[in-house]
Amino acid sequence: MFIDLLKIELFKIFKRPRTFIAFGAIAVIILLVQFALKVNGKDFVQFYTDSQADTFDIPYEKILNGYFVCVAVLHMILIHVPLLVALIAGDMISGEAGLGTLRLIAGKPVTRTQLILAKFSASTVYVILLLVWMAVFALLGSMLIFGTEDLVVFRETDMHIMKSGDVLWRFFAAFVFAALALTTIAAMALMFSVFSENSLGPIVATVCVVIVFTIVQQLRVPVFEETVNPWSFTTHMLGWKGFFYVDKNAEGATIAGSVENPESLVRSGLILTGYIVLFLLISIRSFNKKDILS
């Protein structure tokens, strides 16, 4: 029965033309970034390496490879994808309420909990498909256009170089983690959706919450860094980047297959899972108590 519900919800999502706006937008953004880096990629790399150009010979052409471009694309795009997820997940309950079909589906011989879980699962499938689409364009596309080489990841105070053979599993792990992060957004948008009678409110509320917490995180002032940031989901949503921070041995050489701080990734994953469970429990409890009038 649950699978049937899920199929119905997926049908509803992919029947709407606006669902495909997200796929189109992602493809256009990625192609634009790839084009820009193909034309002016050296300038882009120079921005990160300029302070060391007097000390080292910088292999600009080698740094600008498909893996590097994919990380750059993900860095630019993943901050904005929550908006695209909110567009769909924020509409899941409130959209039905707005159309007047919520009472109809609540009257089916399924529990409201099953209904919420089906809508959440459908949102998760949408998130995963969005990331697979992103992987095809950003990773495979960049590999085809720019070729493959060792991956250099620039951080604020250091840079990490990974052998090309030690990179693909990191992308896979990063995409899985990004799916978890975006599912958190989907769960939050779904929760807001339960309390609303129109789609716009939950979508705007979700985007506003993400913006507020992202700004609080980026302010990087001690008062927030010690209190809000350790528990803010926007802090942990960046966990996908952690798979590109490599550990080194006592001699300073990187260890193949390592990540700098796996414990923090596990912690971030657990915190995001906790948020998903919390948002789902609130959604289920509220929806079960909801007096459906539309």
Token pair of 203 as six digits: 């979508």
Token pair of 39 as six digits: 């034309």
Measured from the CB atom, is 251 or 291 closer to other proteins?
Answer: 251
CA atoms within 13 A on the CB side of 190: 31
Part in contact with other proteins (CB under 8 A); list of ranges 9-17, 57-65, 100-108, 116-124: 57-65
Token pair of 101 as six digits: 């079909």
Residue type, 202: P
> Judged by CB under 8 A, does residue 239 bind other proteins?
yes
Token pair of 257 as six digits: 């297959």
Part in contact with other proteins (CB under 8 A); list of ranges 8-16, 47-55, 84-92, 124-132: 47-55
CA distance 176 to 190: 21
What angle separates helix 168-194 from helix 66-77, to the nearest 10 degrees? 10
SS3 248: strand
Part in contact with other proteins (CB under 8 A); list of ranges 124-132, 197-205, 259-267, 283-291: 259-267
- Interface with other proteins (CB under 8 A), residue total 51
> Judged by CB under 8 A, does residue 57 bind other proteins?
yes
Asked if 130 and 81 count as a contact pair (C-beta separation under 8 A), the reply is yes
Measured from the CB atom, is 67 or 126 closer to other proteins?
Answer: 67
- Binding-residue pattern over the window 148 to 187 for other proteins, x denoting contact by CB under 8 A: -xx-x-xxxxxxxxxxx-x---------------------
Site for other proteins in 107-136 (CB under 8 A): none
Binds other proteins (CB under 8 A): choice among 15, 17, 51, 226: 51
DSSP 8-class letter at 140: I
Measured from the CB atom, is 39 or 253 closer to other proteins?
Answer: 253
Buried b (16+ CB within 10 A) or exposed e, 89-99: bbbbbbbbbbe
CA distance 26 to 132: 11
Part in contact with other proteins (CB under 8 A); list of ranges 99-107, 135-143, 194-202, 238-246: 238-246
Which residues contact other proteins by CB under 8 A?
48, 51-52, 54-59, 62-63, 75, 79, 149-150, 152, 154-164, 166, 218, 220, 229, 235, 238-242, 245-248, 251-254, 256, 260-261, 264-265, 268
